[in-house]
Structure 1
Amino acid sequence: MFPATLNFSDQSSLDPILPSGFSEREILQMIFDQSEDILILTNASMEVEFVSQSLQNTLEIPVKKAIGKKVDQILENFPSLPLMKPNQKMVIPVTTPKTKKKFLIEFEFKPQFTQAGAVQSIIAIGRNVTEREVSLKKFKDIAFKEKELNQLKSRFVSMASHEFRTPLATILSSALLIDMLLKKDFTPEIKAKVLNHVDKIVTQTNRLTDITSDVLLLEKSIQPEMKISLKKILIGEFLKDLVDTINRENFERRTVAFSMPEKDVAVWTDPSLLVHIFRNLILNALKYSEGSLEPEVSLQLRGSYFEVSVKDYGLGIPKEEQEQIFGSFYRAKNVGNIKGTGLGLNIVRELTKKLNGEIWFKSSVGIGSEFFVSFPIK
């Protein structure tokens, strides 16, 4: 059944412009084939009655095979239910069967109705909008990154104004006191005071350096072209050396425990990025579990992946804040006066992504937290 808008019954109006010897079906097929768009005429059940040659030319789907089938049988991502809304549009992805080219086709649907108001047939007009949709996605990605960057800048200004103020004030006051003390007699008491303020200057300068390093590393980690230098390392030996180094730096005041399988395994990874990832997690475990049991680092081999857990018995993360913990400059409300920028876990997540890994955690307030990081071995 042809749609009412394509009525060929009035031959007097067609005779002057149509060649003789053609049937209505042939004429309709000729009209369809002249279009660069993909034209599909279906019955009310979405079964194909006519289709333009562009279906085959563009999407490599033979016209003959399409006739009589439902549209969702010839176009995989086409909806299975009939679409009855006039001028409704939708974009579906299509991969050609032979050359595997990828297209985004926008279909517009024009139902044709009987005098009683029932759907008689549906014309689907498909246009190749691949370039448009790709450009639109790029624009959205850029807009999203721009928005994210603006939020990042805003949070950084807020964090910097707060975090930089205390170290700078300490450095300035200590420098002034040193100047005053050095003008007096250099007694053992004055020497002790001078050394105390020198220690404060060094500590606060290191703190500012750490903050600056975190910001620079975060900026580097979100760049898509960040350079990855893969090397073959024994992951158990690598982690043991890192834990031993942190224990030495901590003067063994608190010792991080480490466990691993008897047999080590060689992995392809970027050691410098792994140092940033695991050092941050281990130092966090020490920082947020002061006065509690010692943190534990454990290596597990799971087939084609290795998994590392860093467990502490400290503050824990409130349940209502756990979804935000990997955000830039975010710090849980229960950390009190413990110093930090709120960048560490965000950097860890970004670097983990760069190495095709995954990170997750479980945590309970007052019991502690355990972070898991998993990476492919090869």
Structure 2
Amino acid sequence: MELAYALLETLPQASVLYHPLIDQQGRLTDFTTRYANQALQAISPGTDPQGHTQTLFQRHPFTRQHLDSFNALLVSRQAFRLDYEAPHRSLGYALSFHYVEGDMLCRYDDIADQKPAQGLNHPTVDLVKALQATNQQLRQQQGLLEGILNGSQNGLLSCAPTYNEMDQIVDLRIELVNPAASLINGLASEQLVGKTLLTAFPALADSALMAAYLHTAQTGQLQRLEAHYQDDNLTGWFEVIASPLPQQRVLISFLDITDRHQAEAAHLHQAGLMQRISESGHIGIMTHKPIWDQTGHIHDFAFTYVNEQAQRWLNVDLGQVTRQSVRFLAAGDDKEELVRQMARVVQTGASARRELTLADGRVLFLVISPLETGCVTTFMDVTQQRQVEQQKRYNAELEQQVVERTLALQTSLARLEQSKADLQGALAKEKQLSELKGRFVAMASHEFRTPLTTVLSSASLLEMYEGSQQSDKRQKHIQRIRLAVKQLNSILEEFLSSDKLTEGLVRVRPVLCEVPRLVEEVLVDLADSLKAQQTIQLSLSCPQPVWVDESLLRKILLNLLSNAIKYSGPGSVIILEGDSKGHLLSLTVSDQGIGISAEDQLRLFERFFRARNATNISGTGLGLHIVGQYVALMNGQIRLESELHQGTRITLSLPLAKSGQEP
């Protein structure tokens, strides 16, 4: 049992081994103390670790319900926990109860340490085979050892010494491993049992830890230390206790305290950082703790710390501030929102930022962050920065206004330039119209004068001819009057057509047209215009009616054929060719007239333009212009080929409509 008691002494937690008391009816009535370790003194001063003066129910005010739980533990062997407040300390404990070979182990865990206990329900290390040759007491001791090992959240290694040739202890061989040790170092017990420490953990060579283990084995003195260990499987800070066991054996107890070290380091870092920030002299720092009302809501915040910079900015001292609250110190309507924002930081853990304007007009930029159960406010005087930003915004607004006004000026200049261009265009058009007007007046005075003179002279001569003997002469002058009237009608028709085209009043209206019939009608209209011995030869291949605007086509043919007659001499031949293939009507008018120069051909389709070699021949200069406009309306094409004194050839290509639709 001494080895089991030694194991209990290595545990950092207060632990007591109890033996059950059974009455004559076989009922559990209480537990006697078999052994209590030294750590129990911190919780229950005056405890006799070797005596059995106190039973479990004498040490703790348990009830019948607890007795039923203890009885269930002895039957089911399932561990359980109870909360307990030590009578001589302000801290609370959780009591863990474990079954140990018919006995019960009670361990006291500090509730302040929230790290869950390890190894409560892990399988026990199978040491029965290694101790089969021992007596019943050794087997009971082995069971107690396994129960204590399994009930510990510390990693435990029981090691035996190994010697060199000079009978010196140079290493320790692992004999026993508890489940917590396997969880901490990540190695199963079968990977450790039988190996030496330096074999299982090579990083221990020449370390302070290994020196402490060997010192305990050699001198029997208990060693406690904190050390950092690192290898491929295990890295961190550990709290280590090396306890002596019989026959120079050593029980090594270790606990991973890396989280605690990191928390302490973080706390020290935060404290140092806060101190450095506080001493920087550029940032005001205030810490606050919440003030709760009766309904459990945060009503206000008390000041717990204000650094020197904050005191200078607020013009207060630490003693004055710590006797006031945020709601009392803050001014204006901002204080309500400030308190609400600080409460949200405490409740959500999320930092917040805001600006606060003081009564004297200064502007503070605040960052409110959570700090333990309260919050910390860091702030800077940003009045100068805000003034600079306001000046920058003002300058930016001025620059924007300059840009906008510059753009407006540029737009106005562009509009002036456009107005100037429009005015110049209008002047050019006015000049062109003036020129057209002059040309029109000259042309009209000339063209109208000739037929009117003919009408007047022929009418006067008709009055002189009487009787049947002069009927031929009378008929001649009547014919001249008829031709003059036709000429005037043609001129007026051209003027009207040009005016309608200019105003966009002409529309294409296809009808089913027989081209040979239309040509014959045109030739009848032109019969009186033919000069002596002039002939018009036809070569038409349009057997089927086609969909085309008959009115526009008639005017086109009349214009082209009358031009051919007018600009060709007596006895000349005019040829009209035509065919319709697919959806295209082709017409060609060829003459043997005076022809047109290449230079004049470039302007031939302009309104009122006349070739230079046609000035002595009557005409308005509108005929080919109108023909070109009609062809364009019908989506057709016109091609002119001419050479001076060799005649002219004009070819039309007109797309045919389908079922009366526009081409």
Partner of 1:213: 493
CA contact (8 A) 2:564 2:590 kept: yes
Indicate conservation of the 8 Å contact 1:222/1:350, yes or no.
no
Aligned to 2:623: 344
In structure 2, the gaps of 5 or more residues are 1-384, 657-662
C-alpha distance in 2 between matches for 1:265 and 1:247: 19
Distance 1:359 1:36, change over 3 A: farther
Q: What's the offset of the Cα at 1:358?
A: 3.1
Q: Which residue of 2 aligns with 1:255?
A: 536
2:574 is equivalent to residue 294 of structure 1: yes
Paired residue for 2:391?
17
Aligned length: 266
Query: Contact between 2:591 and 2:649, CA under 8 Å: does it hold in 1?
Result: yes
Residues 315-371 of structure 1, C-alpha deviations (whole Å, 9 max, x = no match)? 211122111222233332334754322221111122223333332311111222222
Q: Equivalences for 1:23-34 in 2 at 5 Å?
A: none
Identity %: 32
CA distance 1:130–1:241, change in 2 (3 Å): farther
1:125-165 deviation line (CA, Å, top 9, x unaligned):
xx799999999998787666554443332211101111222
Rate the CA distance shift 1:293–1:152 in 2: closer, same or farther, 3 A.
same
Give secondary structure in 1 for the equivalent of 2:648. strand
In structure 2, the partner of 1:246 is 522
Distance (whole Å) between structure 2 residues aligned to residue 374 and residue 139 of structure 1: 40
Instruction: Give the one of 610, 632, 642 matched to 1:363.
Output: 642
Q: How does 1:176-325 map to 2 (within 5 A)?
A: 176-182=460-466, 186-188=467-469, 190-224=470-504, 226-233=505-512, 237-238=514-515, 240-249=516-525, 250=527, 254-260=535-541, 266-267=546-547, 269-290=548-569, 291-299=571-579, 301=581, 306-325=585-604
Instruction: State the TM-score, normalizing by the size of structure 1.
Output: 0.56
Alpha-carbon distance in structure 1 between the residues aligned to 2:549 and 2:415: 36
Secondary structure of the residue aligned to 1:165 is helix
TM-score by length of 2: 0.34
Amino acid at match of 1:259: L
**Contact 1:293 1:312 survives alignment (8 Å):** yes
What is residue 328 of structure 1 aligned with on the other side?
A: 607
State how far apart, in whole Å, the 2-side matches of 1:346 and 1:357 are. Answer: 14
Distance (Å, rounded) in 2 between the aligned partners of 1:138 and 1:353: 28
Q: Once the 2 structures are TM-superposed, how far is the Cα of residue 107 of structure 1 from its aligned partner? A: 12
Q: Deviations over 1:269-318 (max 9, x none)?
A: 432122212321122223333333432323364x7654433222332111
Q: Is the 8 A contact 1:260 1:300 kept in 2?
A: yes
Task: Tell me the amino acid that sits aligned with residue 164 of structure 1.
Answer: F
CA contact (8 A) 1:362 1:371 kept: yes
CA distance in 2 between counterparts of 1:296 and 1:248 reads 14
The one-letter code of the counterpart of 1:220 is K
SS of 1:256's equivalent in the other structure is strand
Query: What amino acid is the match of 1:219?
Result: D
The verdict on how the C-alpha distance between 1:202 and 1:130 changes in structure 2, with shifts beyond 3 A counting, is same
Once residues 129 and 233 of structure 1 are traced to their aligned partners in structure 2, the CA distance between those partners, rounded to angstroms, is 57
Once the two structures are TM-superposed, the CA of residue 208 in structure 1 deviates from its matched residue by 1.5
Answer whether contact 2:458 2:477 (CA < 8 A) is retained. yes
Q: How does 1:26-175 map to 2 (within 5 A)?
A: 146-175=430-459
**Is the Cα–Cα contact under 8 Å of residues 167 and 204 in structure 1 kept in the other structure?**
yes
* Gap change, CA 1:282 and 1:107, over 3 Å in 2: farther
Letter of the structure 2 residue corresponding to residue 333 of structure 1:
R
Q: Distance in 2 between matches of 1:135 and 1:296?
A: 51
Determine the C-alpha separation between the residues in 1 that align with 2:491 and 2:512: 29
Aligned-partner Cα distance in 2 for 1:130–1:258: 60
Distance 1:133 1:260, change over 3 A: farther
SS in 2 for 1:295: strand
Q: Residue 652 of structure 2 aligns to a residue in which SS? A: strand
> Distance between the aligned counterparts of 2:392 and 2:608, measured in 1?
73
The question of whether the paired residues in 2 share the 8 Å contact of 1:230 and 1:270 is answered with yes
Counterpart of 1:212 in structure 2: which amino acid? L
Taking a change above 3 Å as real, the CA distance of residues 107 and 166 of structure 1, as seen in their structure-2 partners, is: same
Larger Rg: 2
Asked whether the 8 Å contact 1:285–1:312 carries over to 2, the reply is: yes
Contact 1:289 1:312 in 2 (8 A): yes
C-alpha deviation, 1:214, in angstroms: 1.4
Alpha-carbon distance in structure 2 between the residues aligned to 1:131 and 1:361? 43
Cα offset, 1:228, TM superposition: 0.9
Given that 2:590 and 2:647 are in contact with CA atoms closer than 8 Å, whether structure 1 keeps it comes out as yes
Change (3 A) 1:179 1:140: same
- Residues 141 and 187 (structure 1), Cα distance of their counterparts in 2 relative to 1, 3 Å cut: same
> Per the alignment, in what secondary structure is the counterpart of residue 294 of structure 1?
strand
Query: 1:136 and 1:278 mapped to 2: Cα distance?
Result: 44
Letter matched to residue 178 of structure 1: L
Report what 2:132 is aligned to.
none
Pick closer, same or farther for the CA change 1:198–1:221 going to 2, 3 Å. same
CA distance in 2: counterparts of 1:358 and 1:141, whole angstroms: 30
Give me the CA root mean square deviation: 4.3
Q: 1:371 to 1:179 in 2, by over 3 A?
A: same
Question: Is the 1:295–1:313 Cα contact (8 Å) retained in structure 2?
Answer: no
| CA distance 1:143–1:355, change in 2 (3 Å) | farther
Distance 1:159 1:287, change over 3 A: same
Q: 2:451 & 2:427 partners in 1: Cα distance?
A: 36
Q: Distance in 1 between matches of 2:482 and 2:422?
A: 46
> Relative to structure 1, is the Cα distance of residues 135 and 333 closer, same or farther in structure 2, using a 3 angstrom cutoff?
closer
**Do 1:228 and 1:270's aligned partners in 2 also have CA atoms closer than 8 Å?**
no
**1:333 to 1:312, Cα distance in 2 relative to 1, 3 A:** same
Amino acid in the other structure paired with 1:17: Q
